Chains A and B, each alone.
Chain A
Amino acid sequence: MSRTSDHELISLILNEATANKGFRLLVSQYQEQLYWQVRKMVVVHDDADDVLQNVFIKIFKGIKNFNGDSKLSTWMYRIAYNESVTFLTKKGKTLQISSQELQDHLTEKLEADVYFTSDEIELALKKALAQLPDRQREVFNYRYYDDLKFKDIATILDLSEGAVKSTYHIAAKKVEQFIKVN
């Protein structure tokens, strides 16, 4: 199926007569990218599904205000990022644990998760990522798994490009070190 350009998608959505068709196309084109982004942050599939639904509702409500300063995908990534952070904060409060403890808790659950590969390398990598501060883990995920440009990561996380680059290199070093030691 041919891919509809972001510009066309926005035009379709903003026209009341074609809004549903446009939004259907948008969901179909971006659902996987956004799902994996959310999943890497919240870890559990059911949680990722809940967050993703909220993300699309926010996108639908907010797309009229999308001003085109960044790419559509970057704008949606940012919404997904904010929703995931909000979800994790609420979850941490509910469980009455810190952000670091929450990451450890989620990583522990991974080993029993039927929707996680039994690949030892992936599990080791997830354990290494759980040790990183939130910001370093987020930057690492975007760069390593999603192959996003530093510039786009900077827009999503509201950081400077230089800060993103140095954060990534520090995170990568820490991950390497953790895997060597463990």
Chain B
Amino acid sequence: MKNNNQHTQAGFKVPEGYFDSLTDRVLENTQKDEIVEHAGFSVPKDYFSTLEDRILTLVQEDKKDVKVVTLQTSKNNTWLYPLLAMAAIFIGFVTINGLFSTDEVTFADLNDQELRDYIVDINFLQDEESMEILYADNSILNETEIKLEFTDNELLNYLMEDATLDQIIRE
């Protein structure tokens, strides 16, 4: 009987054990070369065989990241919650108003540019509140000198330069 490595066919030889492992190797290569395709799309080689492990690792990491701290529900601590609520209200109040704040911001503290920017930003006079502010102090209107008499030339110039037809009709 010939040795395994001595099989000859037309003078050719094969390495020892070649045919014993051939089936497994062929099947392995066939599976590797199988292209997974769907709707014209394909995926990188071995994508699905490694996906499961990657996803499970991710899920484990995600679980570790989320640590849930259980709130104490002991009856001994029932006095704690009102105390904590009061503390929170106090901190909130201090944050908003300042601890011993006596500084009062007055209209005079604002410079003109800030005021102009504010009016442009908020579209001033578009709401009821703004109108009330405007008319709250009538001294502005009283102190304003309104000229009631115009010369013919002034009126003509106004009509020529400033007034639109629409304005004239409305007035």
B58 and A45 within 8 A (CB): no
Q: Which residues of B contact A28 (CB under 8 A)?
A: 52
Residue of B36, B37, B43, B62 near A57 (CB, 8 A) is: B62
Contacts A23-B59, A56-B58, A57-B62 given; does A40 touch B41 at CB 8 Å: yes
Interface 0/1 of B88-100, CB less than 8 Å to A: 0000000000000
Distance from A116 Cβ to chain B, minimum over Cβ atoms (Å): 6
A20 to B62, CA, bound (A): 14
Q: Which residues of A contact B47 (CB under 8 A)?
A: 49
Q: Does A160 contact B (CB under 8 A)?
A: no
Q: Does A122 contact B (CB under 8 A)?
A: yes
Residue of B36, B40, B55 near A122 (CB, 8 A) is: B40
Contacts A27-B55, A27-B56, A57-B62 given; does A116 touch B38 at CB 8 Å: no
A56 to B43, CA, bound (A): 18
Contacts A31-B51, A45-B44, A57-B62 given; does A145 touch B39 at CB 8 Å: yes
Residue of A53, A61, A117 near B40 (CB, 8 A) is: A117
A27 and B52 within 8 A (CB): yes
* B66, closest chain A residue (CB): A61
Residue of B43, B55, B59 near A115 (CB, 8 A) is: B43
A43 to B44, CA, bound (A): 14
Distance from B92 Cβ to chain A, minimum over Cβ atoms (Å): 33
A39 to B47, CA, bound (A): 13
Q: Does A93 contact B (CB under 8 A)?
A: no
Q: Secondary structure of the A side of the interface?
A: helix
A36 and B40 within 8 A (CB): no
Task: Count A interface residues, CB 8 Å.
Answer: 30
Q: Which residues of B contact A52 (CB under 8 A)?
A: 51, 55
Residue of A24, A32, A39, A53 near B58 (CB, 8 A) is: A53
A56 to B55, CA, bound (A): 7
A60 to B47, CA, bound (A): 21
Q: Which residues of B contact A31 (CB under 8 A)?
A: 48, 51-52, 55
Distance from A41 Cβ to chain B, minimum over Cβ atoms (Å): 11
Residues 24-60 of B at the A interface (beta carbon under 8 Å) = 36-44, 47-48, 51-52, 54-56, 58-59
> What 5 new A-B contacts, CB under 8 Å, besides A23-B56, A56-B58, A60-B62?
A36-B38, A36-B41, A117-B42, A123-B40, A141-B39
Cross-chain pairs A/B with CB under 8 angstroms, 6 sampled: A27-B52, A32-B48, A35-B48, A117-B41, A126-B40, A141-B39
Q: Which residues of A contact B (CB under 8 A)?
A: 20, 23-24, 27-28, 31-32, 35-36, 39-40, 43, 45, 49, 52-53, 56-57, 60-61, 115-117, 119, 122-123, 125-126, 141, 145
